[in-house]
Amino acid sequence: MENCKHCMAPQISLDVNNMMADAIGEKGVNAARVDALAEVAAKAAKAVESNRGTGWLGWTELPYNQDEIVADIEETAQMIRNEFDAFVVLGIGGSALGPIAVQQALNHLHYNELPDGKRPGPRFYVEDNIDPERMASLFDVIDVKKTCFNVITKSGATAETMSQYLILSTALKNAIGEGWQKHIIATTDCEKGNLIKLAHQEGFKLFYIPSSVGGRFSELSPVGLLPAAVCGIDIRGMLHGAKCMDGRCKSENVWENPALLEAVLQYICMQEKGANIQVVMPYADSLKYMADWFCQLWAESLGKNVTRDGAPCNVGQTPTKALGVTDQHSQLQLYTEGPYDKVVTLMKVGSFRETTEIPHGCEQFADVAFLGGKTLNQLIEAERQGTEYALYKAGRMCQTITLPVVNAQTIGQLIYFFEMATAYAGELLNIDAFNQPGVEESKIASYAVLGNENEKYAKKREEMQHKAERKKQYIL
């Protein structure tokens, strides 16, 4: 296990041996091809570095510029722990997936079921969808009089989040009356948008999302830090881990900078190998939702139809998630024998936080008895190695990210690693990795359907009336 050179914190690692032609043959990547892209990679690294903290790269400075904000978050989190039984995040996309992933990674896997004395914070819920049954179900498990709601939307115009706000603020007014505002914390843009106006009007406690930080890059801002702190997670450790990874990403040498190497390899996969799917497969339940968070980051950032120069491109790699060992018993069949259109990213934990022994028994069954005396720790690692070998034998590209332990520092490293790899990949593809016009088209169409009278939505509504009619023969 390697440690950070500056602070000796455990350091995550990227093993790409089974991505390379040296190991798996012609379907793998030649090291010479990586070397041939060394100058292009260095240029990508320089572009990201030279634009730090500007445009939509504000997230690169989050490990360094939040001392006062972190102190405020920690004080607010302590107040919430003292006064409330439940903490509910209202958000969608990056405002939800990050807090979910970090909570799953760093707290007890049955956190909400723990008795009050064993939980480091209030019960925690993230409402990241607008299924009407889901909202009704939330009211069945919380007491609004004892619940704090964190409304997260940069624009304050996110229909899903603001509809939830309208429902829950009405419930608070009905249940509490005067003083209901103390149950709301707003996390939003510092200058513009509906939510900041509402927060000033009602007197909500406010945290700000930096204007140069987009939603899917916001986990290390108050978007993710407040929910984590409320639940007793070491947010300073997360930021320190991000800082450690940032230090490793200073090199312009593709063989020294792990995020740059990852971006170059995935660029080759997309553009030259036909591997337009990346399967992220953690072998740890704690990392299950880190795969979900990565999928949003990678898909929304890299799925683009024009380059920065306006040329048509239709690029991007489809991320999908699997869970080891659960999906090893089904999806692995496709990964080993299906099309050569995938790269599999395994995630490994070096040392789990618990050791669970397997008792002796069933001695009459040799294929069961051999498990006795071993541990689940040994079994899950053996299964991961089995998957890795099956992919290797089949000549499929596979890489492994290892977290020596799962703690605040290594999760901070992992988040920052994926963010940097995404930024580098955007440079290599010559696309804007920070916009989302395809998502915006869906939003505009949705609001048009609902009858928003704004001119933009009215025009879209008229446009939609001319779409192709559905044919009955295609509906069974």
Active-site residue numbers? 300, 329, 443
> Cα(236)–Cα(254) distance, rounded to whole angstroms?
29
The burial of 318, by beta-carbon neighbours within 10 Å (0-12 exposed, 13-18 middle, 19 or more buried), is given as middle
The token pair that represents 462 in the structure block: 């008229």
Complete DSSP assignment for 68-121: HHHHHHHHHHHHHHHH-SEEEEE--THHHHHHHHHHHHHS-TTGGGS-GGG-SS
Q: How many residues does the chain have?
A: 476
Burial 117-146 (b: 16+ CB within 10 A, else e): eebebbbbbbbbeeeeeeeeebeeebebee
Q: What's the rounded Cα separation, in Å, for the pair 40 and 253?
A: 11
What would the 3-class secondary structure string for 175-193 be? HCCCCHHHHEEEEEECCCC
User: Which residues 6+ apart lie within 8 Å of 410 measured at CB?
Assistant: 10, 12, 241, 403, 404
Partners of 20 in beta bridges: 29
- Is-contact 210 190, C-beta < 8 A? yes
